[in-house]
Amino acid sequence: MSKYEHRDLSRHEMEQQAIGALVLLPQRIVMVVSLVTIDDFVDARHQIIFGALQDMQKDCEIKGIENVAGEITLVTLKSTLVTLKNRLETTGGLEAAGGVEYLADLVAGVINADCANCYAKAVRAFTDVELKGGMSRAVDHDGEQ
């Protein structure tokens, strides 16, 4: 998939990309929260995960995890996933967020983690279009309205 193929993604897929990219590069949450709010995500799982990542950042559990070359290492990815899983378990939200399997699927499906802000902007654009057109925002777990 080329770096431009993300432009053809559905809203649900764009949300998955945004959340998955933040799990891979959680330190980018600071930039992303200036672009979207928790309410911009229509999938309840994504709202829960986004909220947990925001809380982790506020509690200083997210640190710069990229190495000098800007690469993600398996050790830092595992650390982030474990911290996120623990945060969701503590708040009782792990099952509602789709469980560990869904978190792993989000990470595995990311096209380009460096595009976290692009995905967030696209999620916000979907919200803007819906607000302008008065469309329903209810979505089930399969991305169907």
Taking only the tens place, the pLDDT of each residue in 108-141 is: 999 999 999 999 999 999 999 888 876 554 444 5
Where in the chain are the domains?
Answer: 10-133
Residues 6+ apart with CB under 8 A from 56: 26, 29, 62, 83, 84, 87
CATH number of 10-133: 1.10.860.10
The CA distance from 54 to 133, in Å, is 29
Residue scoring higher pLDDT (145 or 43): 43
pTM above 0.75, yes or no: yes
